[in-house]
Structure 1
Amino acid sequence: MSFTKQLRIENEDVFQRIFTHPFVEGIGKGEVPKEALAHYIKADYEYLNAFMHVYGLAISKSPDRQSIRLFHDQIGFVLNSEVHPHHNFCEQIGMSYEDLQGYPLPPTADHYVKHMLYHAHHGGIGEILAALLPCPWTYYEIGVELMKTYQPEDSHPFLTWIQFYADVRTKTLTNLLCEHLDAYAEQASESEKIKMREAFRKSCQLEYSFWEMAYTQEEWPAEEEVVR
């Protein structure tokens, strides 16, 4: 069994919690509070900016052109394609995409970004891949689950979002990341594989927490509360 298949089995509990989160189920039902959608877009826009920076750090550590091409293509996907599901959410809340950009990251998203940057700076390519992989992987499986469970019609408010993540291109990009991580895992020591497992697990958990953060519209505590 490949390393990434093992990771998927080990983290089945978190994947299932993500699939049944009220925000994710709300996308399938076409019923998500507008405030939660806006909070999600504000955080995800800045999170994806950081995600591209992590891919850039991975390029700087890449040993060959194949790896450089992989991370370059992933940056292109985020930069040029992943705006479409954001626009779908914006249409549903009647706000422009530009008006939801430039906001500070909420606590959970801030932690997630710093978690990835830690592994990007201190880990090798395998460790970086393990930290990055849960984001595209969980989104692809969310798309597939929502298509299967709700079978959205053309009139569904979030059809564009669901179709985007269930699409074969998202699957292909995710599979490429899995193949590269498997290749690095074959050469990795046991201690390195432990770090990869830990990075992957925490990213899965933070994916769940990101949905919760958006749904509850998480904010930083007020300054006076911190002092108290």
Structure 2
Amino acid sequence: MPFSDTLLAEAESVWEAQYDHPFVTELAAGTLDAAAFRHWVEQDYRYLLDYADVFSLAAASADGEERTARLAETAHRILADEMDLHRSFAEEYGLTPADLEGAEKAPTCQAYTDHLVRAAREGGLATVAAAVYPCGQGYLDVADHMAELADGEHRYTPFVEKYTSDTFRETVSWMRELVDDLADERPGAREDMRAAFHRSAQLEHDFWEMAYTREQWDVTPHQRTAADAD
């Protein structure tokens, strides 16, 4: 069995939880609260900046011209194509480019990007490939699920169309092949790959929750008591 199939089988419960998440089901129906979607736009924009950087870092450490070129190309596609969708949604929801650039990462977004950047800087190429794979495969599978649930077009249809497009499918297929090839070439890296994959998979689910609840940092000041003074 290809290693990617093993990873996906192990993460089946996480995938099912994503399919059932209200952000996913309500987006598919076109009933998702606009404020929740706006929060997703802001946070995913910030996420994608780091996601693209991770592919660039992977390209710098890749072995072979073909892998290096494809990793660098993927970084460019994220910045040039995928983020265009976010910019168009941002305009629709009254967000300026400055709003997107200035948005503070929510705790879950920060945890996810920290995980990816750490994998890119401290892990080998195999670990990085496994860490980024759940984002691609997760969005494709979730968008396919949304397409099955959707009943007609609505304001979120461009989201579903983007992540079910032939171009996106091809990119995910390449990511999957990269995971399998690296797992075969470097069997000693499989446990690190597995750990990186499962952390990213869990954070993919948590990202939907973050957007749905409009998660922010808790900045409520600590109330000093007499015990604190002692």
- TM-score scaled by length of structure 1: 0.92
In the alignment, is the contact (CA less than 8 A) between 1:134 and 1:203 conserved in 2? Answer: yes
Judged with a 3 Å threshold, the aligned counterparts in structure 2 of structure 1 residues 107 and 225 are, in CA distance, closer, same or farther, namely farther
Tell me if 1:147 matches 2:147.
yes
Please say which structure displays the higher CA radius of gyration: 2
1:137 corresponds in structure 2 to 137
Q: Which runs of 5+ in 2 are unaligned?
A: none
In the alignment, is the contact (CA less than 8 A) between 1:38 and 1:100 conserved in 2? Answer: no
Q: Which runs of 4+ in 1 moved over 6 A?
A: none
Judged with a 3 Å threshold, the aligned counterparts in structure 2 of structure 1 residues 152 and 226 are, in CA distance, closer, same or farther, namely farther
2:172 corresponds in structure 1 to 174
In the alignment, is the contact (CA less than 8 A) between 2:46 and 2:100 conserved in 1? Answer: no
- The 10-residue stretch of structure 1 (205-214 or 65-74) with the greater mean CA deviation from structure 2: 65-74
2:213 paired residue among 212, 216, 220: 216
Q: Kindly provide the amino acid, as one letter, of the partner of residue 157 in structure 2.
A: L
- TM-score scaled by length of structure 2: 0.91
Q: Percent identity?
A: 28
Report deviation, 1:37.
1.6
Find the residue that maps to 1:224 and give its secondary structure: coil
Report deviation, 1:149.
2.0
Judged with a 3 Å threshold, the aligned counterparts in structure 2 of structure 1 residues 122 and 38 are, in CA distance, closer, same or farther, namely same
Judged with a 3 Å threshold, the aligned counterparts in structure 2 of structure 1 residues 90 and 101 are, in CA distance, closer, same or farther, namely same
In the alignment, is the contact (CA less than 8 A) between 2:17 and 2:205 conserved in 1? Answer: yes
Report deviation, 1:88.
5.3
1:107 corresponds in structure 2 to 107
Tell me if 1:40 matches 2:40.
yes
Q: Kindly provide the amino acid, as one letter, of the partner of residue 216 in structure 2.
A: E
In the alignment, is the contact (CA less than 8 A) between 2:29 and 2:149 conserved in 1? Answer: no
Judged with a 3 Å threshold, the aligned counterparts in structure 2 of structure 1 residues 7 and 142 are, in CA distance, closer, same or farther, namely same
2:157 paired residue among 145, 156, 159: 159
CA distance in 2, matches of 1:74, 1:136: 11
In the alignment, is the contact (CA less than 8 A) between 1:46 and 1:102 conserved in 2? Answer: no
2:193 paired residue among 175, 187, 196: 196
CA distance in 2, matches of 1:42, 1:11: 27
In the alignment, is the contact (CA less than 8 A) between 1:37 and 1:89 conserved in 2? Answer: no
CA distance in 1, matches of 2:12, 2:47: 24
- Give the CA RMSD over aligned residues: 1.9
